[in-house]
Structure 1
Amino acid sequence: MENRWRGEVMLVVNDQHHRMRLTLGALAELEEDLSEPSLMALVQRFETGGFSTRDVLALLCAGLRGGGIDMSPDSLAQAEIDGGPMRAAQAAAELLARAFMVQS
């Protein structure tokens, strides 16, 4: 089970459940990998629906790394994700949202 307060999101890849989360290091890598000036620009891409498949793969790979699984975007692109592309995009958006969630 995921811990939302830690920013965790579950994803089933090749019939295995994986707990993902975005660490500070992963967020810094995302800025560089996706050529964004800031994470807010990436968040805005997701909020406006302007994200690409590359964005989704990069976010999911970063989240998997944060959860202890090292998987390349090429490997993930060939993997079977339960729920297909829609679930992948939803999980990527959840990762971003939970990374910036403020606990009250």
Structure 2
Amino acid sequence: MANPLAGEVALVLDGHPRVMKLTLGALAELEEGLGCDSIAALLARLEGGAVSARDVMALIVAGLRGGGWPGRAADLVAAEIEGGPVEAARLAALLVARAFGELA
């Protein structure tokens, strides 16, 4: 369902397959949500090795919104991501890698 060449990552949310993608608009929302003033600052934060659950959640929300999901962060709080928090973190990392040119 997801096209890795287009930077997309598949995620199953509440039993429904979804596509995540970090579009420019999604990246802008992510910067604002995480208090970063540039893409470089955002990447430095994510590559710093101390990624929080909040960071993972913000990445998942931004990716889902970039993939066309109309929800908000509050909607994701009660949602079930297939594979749990560990899979969510792995998919968030994959999303960033694909957004910036790695097919991982």
Asked whether the two chains share a fold, i.e. TM above 0.5, the reply is: yes
Structure 2 equivalent of residue 75 of structure 1: 75
- What's the CA shift for 1:102? 6.3
Q: What do residues 43-98 of structure 1 show as CA deviations (whole Å, max 9, x unaligned)?
A: 33333331111111111111111111122112112111110001111111111111
Structure 1 equivalent of residue 98 of structure 2: 98
Gap regions ≥5 residues in structure 1: none
TM-score after normalising by structure 2:
0.88
Q: Give runs of aligned pairs for residues 7-22 of structure 1, distance below 5 A.
A: 7-22=7-22
Structure 2 equivalent of residue 42 of structure 1: 42
- What's the CA shift for 1:3? 0.6
Identity within the alignment, %: 53
Q: Secondary structure at the match of 1:44?
A: helix
For residues 102 and 78 of structure 1, do their structure 2 counterparts lie closer, same or farther at Cα, with a shift above 3 Å needed? closer
Question: Could you tell me whether the CA contact under 8 Å between 1:61 and 1:70 is conserved in 2?
Answer: no
Question: Could you tell me whether the CA contact under 8 Å between 1:58 and 1:73 is conserved in 2?
Answer: yes
- What's the CA shift for 1:40? 2.9
Runs of 4+ that moved beyond 4 A: none
Structure 1 equivalent of residue 2 of structure 2: 2
- Give distance in 2, aligned partners of 1:17 and 1:102: 22
TM-score after normalising by structure 1:
0.88
C-alpha RMSD of matched pairs (Å): 1.7
Gap regions ≥5 residues in structure 2: none
Aligned positions, number: 103
- Give distance in 2, aligned partners of 1:65 and 1:33: 13
